């Protein structure tokens, strides 16, 4: 296969989501009667939905709100339209409770603020309009109110454990074990902190799409605050020896940061965020058992840095109108800059692949990413392969290729580049894509360019 026909993955250029209009606020319908959720489906009409609540005689208002939220949470993946209606109902009912409780001396529990904030957060994710940023700002503010409520609760308990106000706060704690939460954090403060961090990263992502240059300072503040919140929760769970929770939070933090990094074009920012994440993940690997999610997350970090150069390579390919077989020197330079990150991504993704159970939900995305890494490593090599080790680029900034006590010792044919040809990597990519197809079914999707690559090389391998 000539240099001209190298198969580069498409779809790496950033597809920025539509930016919210300036000065917009979420359009919230008027609050509904008790046990009835109402959302504004159209300007001139309202859609009503009723749900049955458990134990109506024993339920309280915050408990009812929690049931509505849990119903919406369980509906997100199966019926997003219904989920939007339910989350709007949570917001309407929360507004009503705020008005009612503001007339009493009874404090709302921290869990109320978490439910309210999460409903706003999900509305920002599910709505296909210009309100996303406004929803996220309100959600972050609500999580902050929840943290203030946690502080007030602690102060009331210290000041007078038998006071009437302390008893009111103690009543709030009974909601603690009942909330639906992906991380299953037992500490409501930690739940509020990680949720606020999610809202802040999502705000930064939208701001980057709006105007990356002018919003840089605002975005960096949001990201710094979000990372600090995650780090606080990680340290607390490390001290409690809650390793499973700690690793889950680390993986979620890295995944969340990548939803932002994918919309940023500043190399210094991309590299700093990924290298900081890699450092934390490697430390976790050094201190515990092999967790394939940690290996996978490190691989995604290196892939994220490689994509910075590959995106530019795509741009060069689009602008290159020369039909000759001569290699574009700018494209070749970009590929070689991406190569050390691709090689590191290969090592960690192969390790994760070998540790995961075949039916694990992460396997399809992992194999698709691994296939793209293998395609691009093939693009970095001459057709006959076997380049000199002295000419292999090293990771910039003194980054070790693989560091730590948990550095993997893997089979030559899986992870090493030396002695392998372009064809070797293309064939490995075909294997990864076909395996993803057999596992994923409907979840398996390839870009048009990669589908063409797969078809071409399957035919060649069968010839």
The SS3 assignment for 39 reads: strand
Confidence of residue 314 (pLDDT cuts 50, 70, 90): low
pLDDT value of position 316: 56
Distance CA 60, CA 66 (A): 10
Stated pTM of the model: 0.77
pLDDT value of position 432: 93
Span 395-419, pLDDT tens digits: 443 333 443 334 343 344 466 677 7
Is 362:291 a contact under the CB 8 Å cutoff?
no
Domain boundaries, the chain: 290-318+327-463
Task: Tell me how crowded residue 417 is: count the other CB atoms within 10 A of its CB.
Answer: 20
pLDDT value of position 162: 46
Determine if residue 17 is left, alpha or beta; phi over 0 gives left, psi from -120 to 50 gives alpha, anything else beta. beta
The SS3 assignment for 32 reads: coil
Q: What are the b/e assignments for 173-195, b being 16+ CB within 10 Å?
A: eebeeebeeeeebebbbbbbbbb
Measure Cα distances from 28 to 10, 18, 40, 156, 182 in Å: 39, 21, 7, 34, 26
Q: Please write down the long-range contacts of 394-400, taking CB distance under 8 Å and 24 or more positions apart.
A: 394/340, 395/340, 395/341, 395/344, 396/340, 397/271, 397/275, 399/275, 399/340
Confidence of residue 208 (pLDDT cuts 50, 70, 90): very high
Span 81-132, pLDDT tens digits: 999 999 999 999 999 999 988 888 778 889 999 999 999 999 999 986 678 9
The SS3 assignment for 38 reads: strand
pLDDT of residue 196 exceeding 80: yes
Q: Which of 159, 230, 130 is nearest to 190 (CA)?
A: 230
Q: Supply 66's token pair.
A: 């929690």
Least confident of 32-46, 158-172, 190-204, 209-223: 32-46
Span 239-283, pLDDT tens digits: 776 778 888 889 999 999 999 999 999 999 999 999 999 999 999
């Amino acid at each position: 296969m000539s240099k001209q026909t190298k198969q580069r993955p498409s779809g790496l250029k950033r597809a920025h989501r539509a930016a919210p209009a300036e000065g917009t606020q979420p359009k919230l319908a008027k609050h509904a009667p008790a046990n009835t959720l109402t959302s504004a489906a159209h300007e001139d009409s309202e859609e009503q939905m009723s749900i049955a609540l458990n134990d109506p005689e024993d339920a309280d208002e915050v408990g009812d709100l929690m049931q509505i939220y849990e119903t919406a949470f369980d509906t997100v993946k199966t019926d997003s339209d219904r989920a939007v209606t339910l989350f709007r109902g949570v917001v309407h009912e929360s507004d009503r409770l705020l008005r009612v409780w503001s007339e009493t001396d009874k404090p709302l529990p921290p869990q109320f603020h978490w439910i309210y904030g999460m409903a706003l957060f999900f509305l920002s994710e599910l709505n296909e309009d210009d309100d996303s940023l406004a929803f996220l700002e309100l959600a972050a503010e609500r999580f902050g109110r929840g943290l203030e409520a946690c502080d007030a609760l602690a102060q009331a308990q210290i000041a007078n454990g038998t006071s009437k106000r302390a008893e009111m706060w103690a009543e709030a704690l009974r909601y603690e074990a009942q909330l639906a939460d992906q991380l299953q954090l037992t500490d409501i403060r930690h739940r509020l902190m990680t949720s606020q961090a999610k809202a802040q990263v999502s705000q930064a992502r939208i701001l980057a799409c709006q105007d990356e240059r002018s919003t840089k300072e605002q975005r960096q503040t949001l990201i710094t605050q979000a990372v600090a919140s995650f780090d606080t929760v990680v340290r607390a769970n490390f001290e409690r020896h809650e390793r499973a929770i700690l690793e889950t939070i680390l993986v979620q933090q890295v995944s969340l940061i990548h939803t932002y990094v994918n919309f940023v074009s500043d190399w210094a920012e991309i590299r700093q965020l990924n290298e900081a994440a890699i450092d934390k993940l490697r430390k976790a690997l050094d201190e515990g058992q092999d967790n394939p999610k940690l290996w996978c997350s490190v691989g995604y970090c290196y892939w994220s840095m490689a994509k910075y150069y590959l995106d530019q390579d795509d741009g060069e390919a689009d602008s290159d109108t020369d039909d000759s077989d001569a290699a574009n020197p700018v494209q070749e330079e970009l590929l070689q800059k991406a190569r050390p990150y691709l090689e590191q991504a290969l090592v960690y993704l192969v390790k994760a692949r070998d540790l995961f159970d075949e039916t694990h939900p992460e396997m399809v995305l992992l194999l698709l990413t691994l296939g793209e890494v293998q395609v691009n490593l093939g693009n970095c090599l001459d057709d006959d392969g076997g380049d000199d080790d002295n000419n292999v680029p090293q990771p910039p900034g003194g980054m070790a290729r693989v560091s730590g006590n948990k550095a993997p010792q893997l089979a030559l044919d899986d992870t090493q580049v030396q002695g392998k040809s372009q064809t070797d990597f293309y064939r490995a990519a075909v294997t990864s894509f076909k395996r993803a197809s057999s596992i994923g079914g409907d979840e398996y999707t390839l870009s048009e360019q990669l589908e063409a690559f797969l078809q071409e090389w399957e035919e060649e391998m069968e010839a």
